[in-house]
Each structure stands twice: as C-alpha cells, then as structure tokens.
Amino acid sequence: MKTLVTLGCSWTFGIGVGYDETTMCNSQDIISIKQFPDNFTEQEYNFIKGADYPTYQDFVKNKKNKIFFKDFIWHELLTVSKFDDILTNYKDIKRDKVLADKHSFRGIISKSLGFKNDNFAVGGSSNDEQFSIMSKVFGDPQKRKQFIESNPIVLWGITSTARIFRNNESIMLSANNSDVGSKNEEVLYNGLYTKLYYDHEQEVANLSNQIELWNIIFDHYDVPVIWFDTFNTHKYPRLLRNFLQGGDLLTQMLNVNKSKVARIIGKYYHYSDFAHYSDWFSDDPRVDEGIKVKLLNPISMHPTKKGHKVLSEILLPCVKELNKKHYN
C-alpha cells in the first residue's frame, strides 16, 4: 500500500471541517453577534488592551460607536467577544480527528486512491514546526527506514510566515503594534518579537532554502513531493521545484468556484497582493467571499466540507500524476 504523507497547518489537518451551518450558526448569525463588543469589565478590558486602546471609560461610552475606534482595535474587540453559546458546538468538533481524517482534502484524496494517510499537519503549526517534525523522521535511522518503505507521496503545505517555533510550540506573532504595550506577558513577547525581529521577505527567503533542501533530500531517497502555499501566495526569490503553480489554495478554491472576487483579483491584482493572518477573523476579501459561497465557515474561517472537496479536486490530479510517475 502507498502512503499519502501530509504536512502543514490547520487547513491540511482539517480544523473545523465538521462545521454544520444547520446545527451551529450561519454567517448572518456571526455578523449579528459580532456587531458590537461585549460588556467587558474593567479588569477584562485592561487585560486585553494594547497601547493604542482608549481608556476603559471611553470604551464604555463609545462601545457602539465604531468610528470612535481605530479599525484594528474595533476588529480585535469583536474578535475576543464572548459569543460562547454559538461557539460551544464548534469548539467540540473543530479538532475532531475522525471528522478531519474523513472529510479533509487529505482524507478524500487518500480514500480516492486507496492510500494510507500519515498526517503530520497540526492546527496552528508554523513552517518551522513542520520542518522539525520531518527532521526527526529522517534523523532517526529506524523512522527513516519505515518512512521510505511506506511508499510515500508527500503533500506539504506552506503556512503563514507570521508564526515562530519556540520550545516545541508554534506561536502566532502579533497582528499589530499595539501588543507592545500589553500587560499580558505572552502578548507582549509576541508584539516585541514582531516589531524587532520579524521580516516577511527574509522568512520567505528562508522558506525557499528549506524547500530546496528537502527537495534534495527527497530526491536522494526517491520520494515524490508536492509543495503548495496554503492561504497566502509567497513571492519566492526563485522558481521552486515540485511546487504547485497557480497561487495558494484559498485563491485557487475561489477560482474553481468562479467567484466574483476571484474574477476581480484575476483581472486587476496578483494573488500575492493579499494575505490572510488566519487567527479567526476576516482580514482579506478572499475570506469574505469564501464565507459567502460556503467554502469557509464563518467562525474560524477554515474550509468547510464543500471547501475541502474543492481542495481535493485541485490536488488530486497532482497526486495521481506523481503516483503514476513513481510507482506504476
């Protein structure tokens, strides 16, 4: 039996694929619930606020006046809103491995080809975490032997560069500069690291080097591999081998669905002009469109069952071609 080996982040794992609009909520419910920030206590507000936030007293007076707040602050206040009743069911199923193994694009592709699926993708994973995982496989002679003997085809998703890997944990970096004034130590660390050290272009250059390094390793062991950008198209400094063309999966998913946004992007923009942070809020017109056409869920903005079916249709021909080339 052949093995589809999958690496990546939440999109590859299948986070939220169990979302069901009929039993949870639809996008209109989320919009309604997130119309205004919650009634935070002063202690709660002071805990989450950054340096650019207004005082608690001004927050209370203006919490229904969107124009009083800077756009990113208003967005953050809505993001941390406590709509727990709506989220309860979703939180129960969002990381359900059984549902993910069955309904994710990796599950669909594996079943279609009669492959076993060895999945290393993790929700919230950084690229460095995935490189670390595969390094541990190839660095251990016994694990490497088992990997090679499993007749693998590797499907490796590149995620956001705004994540770092420290102490065996992936950490989401700050989305804005206000976090450098936070009283929360973890938020403060993320904010300072982002401000002082994060360089997207350098991260993309590092990625291109890592991808080529692993291409060389896989070539040596005759392991076929497909790389893809997950929800952001990165401007790599050189053309990369074995890399899925046509842009990231989010953009390609909208193209397959022939969405209005995809047509506009294709006519006036390049898909690398857009970036999704992937932290449970809508920050990209492609995400808004994906929710509208039910390819993404409105809670965490991850692909729905319909979305994963489209993703499988994009990737399946590539996997079939590699299978034919290497094993038939």
Neighbours of 17 (CB within 10 A): 26
Amino acid identity, position 3: T
Lowest model confidence (mean pLDDT) among 3-12, 31-40, 104-113, 161-170: 31-40
The arithmetic mean of pLDDT across residues 197-211, rounded, is 94
- Given the candidates 3.30.1330, 3.10.20, 3.40.50, 3.30.519, the CATH classification of the domain at 3-34+83-162+198-327 is 3.40.50
The arithmetic mean of pLDDT across residues 268-273, rounded, is 51
Q: What was the pLDDT predicted at 34?
A: 55
Burial class (CB in 10 A: 0-12, 13-18, 19+), 245: exposed
Neighbours of 78 (CB within 10 A): 18
Is this structure's pTM higher than 0.95? no
User: What burial letters (b/e) apply to 256-270, b meaning 16+ CB within 10 Å?
Assistant: ebebebbeebeeeee
Sign, CA torsion 247/249/252/258: negative
Q: Is the pLDDT of residue 157 over 70?
A: yes
Q: What was the pLDDT predicted at 268?
A: 40
User: Rg of the Cα trace of the chain?
Assistant: 21
Q: What was the pLDDT predicted at 249?
A: 96
Mean pLDDT, the chain, as a whole number?
Answer: 84
CB-based contacts of 95: which residues, under 8 Å, 6+ apart?
13, 15, 123
Mean pLDDT is highest, among 67-81, 84-98, 212-226, for 212-226
Q: What was the pLDDT predicted at 224?
A: 97
Q: How far is CA 30 from CA 27, 85, 190, in A?
A: 5, 11, 28
- DSSP run (H or E) holding 226: strand 225-229
CA distance 182 to 46: 9
Q: What was the pLDDT predicted at 257?
A: 62
Q: What was the pLDDT predicted at 258?
A: 63
Nearest to 18 by CA among 112, 123, 138, 120: 123
